[in-house]
Amino acid sequence: MQDFLETSWSCVKELVARLQTHGQERSRKPLSFFRFKTGRRENVTFDKNHFFIRGSIEYSNPQLTVEEVQGTIGARLLEACSNYFKGYGLHKPDARDLSQLCELLKKPSEGPAVAFLLNTDDIEADRYSLNPLRQSIVESGQSAFSVAYVKTDSLDLDSQFMKKYEGTLISQDEAELLSKYLNTNTGSYLDLIDSVKYEQLEKYSEAFGIDLSLPALRMPIETLKQEGKEDLLHCLISQIHKDYDTISQAYSCMGRSMAKRTTLLTVPHSKRGYSSKRAARGRLHFEGTRLLSADVKYKNTLLYPNSVDPTDVSIAQAEDEFSVSGEKLADYDFRENPSSPQFFIYSLGSPENAVLLHGIGVYAAPKLLQSYMSFHDAVRKGNMIKCLAGRHTVTAEVPLQFNLSPGDMWVHPKHRNIDASLGTVGNLSDLTRLGMKIESVSPFK
């Protein structure tokens, strides 16, 4: 906390300034989040007057990584400091402030700012080649499925993965915890991962003296499943596919050219279960200004490497081809045509007022942030997505963007990788000695 206040004070000031002008919207319905406790899902609600700070953890690995824990702690530091200094006024922190802030961190937020986790459920189960269930994910034919559709019935620990990566990506204790929940799980991969990770978060809450069991949301698939055609994400998908101009505007937000039109703004799922965005290829066809169809092809595709052995890359196995009519996208219904919209689109449905990114510029792609910011700005200015007016309320301002400083990311003390599991770190003080530096990200740089 002391290091954070010294190195990241400008972020605190920016948050407090935004909090002081944060509007009250009493007519809006409460937001429903969840946590897991001893393998059971518990719902948590907040009214929408809160100021929400978004963090995230991954569904692509059951073991908590050093990066994930640093990000979760960082989100709590931003939350606690913004609440505290909004209440007591901005001033140079002293020992008394430090003590009170540390006490605040021991329990869930009670202030206007609330940190939460937005966990994306449209990624592959071994996206970053970190998953100790790897072999059975492939053998069960689920390597190109979105995690929202993966079932655990035929999954088990990969002995080759454990032999190769124990001590660098995973510990034996973490493997045993996973096995415990795998044996009692009802079949939902998402619930399995959340059960394992929340038990780890509870354990490390005690070790760090910080409540890390943040409330969470799953998007976009769980949200789309719960929506009707008139709801927000359905509205966004329909309106973006309305005609050539709206698609062109979305392409422009991504920095893409309409020359080849090979980027699918929402990736239709295969009837065979394939839904990996990385394994999907596409092309949009027009008749005049009307979207005629979207061609989709799934093919075997390598995913992303881990940091220990960059040559050991997991594969998404998929072979399928089909076409979706433009009308089905311009009048969208997830129940009839399930698909995964691009992150910059569905993030508009997240309640976030501020975001904590993980090492943008080194460990994460700046292009994703640029498309996110451009799209949010275009919607805020009323330049696109006209259906939102009077029907759906989104965050009035472009959310503040913060970033775990890439040069100061926590790494395994011996192997120097950010994707090491926390269980492989012998002494947690080796991480805390690295401090906590968070920087503000300029929206369009």
Cβ-contact 321, 367 below 8 angstroms: no
Nearest alpha-carbon partner for 53 in 351, 347, 344: 351
Mean of pLDDT values over 277-287:
97
Band (pLDDT 50/70/90 cuts) for residue 442 is confident
Backbone angles phi, psi at 412, to 5 degrees: -60, 130
273 pLDDT above the threshold of 80: yes
DSSP per-residue string spanning 57-78: --SS-SSPBHHHHHHHHHHHHH
Nearest alpha-carbon partner for 353 in 10, 5, 2, 14: 14
Neighbours of 143 (CB within 10 A): 26
Confidence (pLDDT) at 411:
95
Mean of pLDDT values over 399-410:
94
pTM, whole model, 2 decimals? 0.95
Band (pLDDT 50/70/90 cuts) for residue 369 is confident
Angle at alpha carbon of residue 249, lines to 221 and 246, rounded to 5° = 70
**pLDDT greater at residue 397 or residue 46:** 46
Domain residue extents for the chain: 2-125+205-223+347-440, 228-343
Spatial distance between the Cα atoms of 114 and 104, rounded to a whole number of angstroms: 12
pLDDT per residue as tens digits for the range 154-198 = 999 999 999 999 999 999 999 999 999 999 988 999 999 999 999
CA dihedral 355, 275, 195, 435 (to 10 degrees): -30
How far the first Cα of the chain sits from its last, in Å, is: 28
443 pLDDT above the threshold of 80: no
pLDDT above 90 as % of the chain = 85
Spatial distance between the Cα atoms of 242 and 145, rounded to a whole number of angstroms: 28
Using alpha carbons, list the distances in angstroms from residue 46 to 49, 87, 264, 351, 408. 8, 20, 34, 11, 33
Mean of pLDDT values over 221-247:
94
Confidence (pLDDT) at 43:
96
Spatial distance between the Cα atoms of 121 and 130, rounded to a whole number of angstroms: 17
Q: Provide the strand spans (E) within 249-326.
A: 266-268, 280-287, 290-298, 301-302, 315-316, 320-325
Confidence (pLDDT) at 445:
54
Cis peptide before 220 (omega within 30 of 0): yes
* Backbone region of residue 269 per phi and psi (left: phi > 0; alpha: psi in -120 to 50; beta: other values): beta
pLDDT per residue as tens digits for the range 379-403 = 877 766 665 544 555 656 789 999 9
Mean of pLDDT values over 359-378:
81
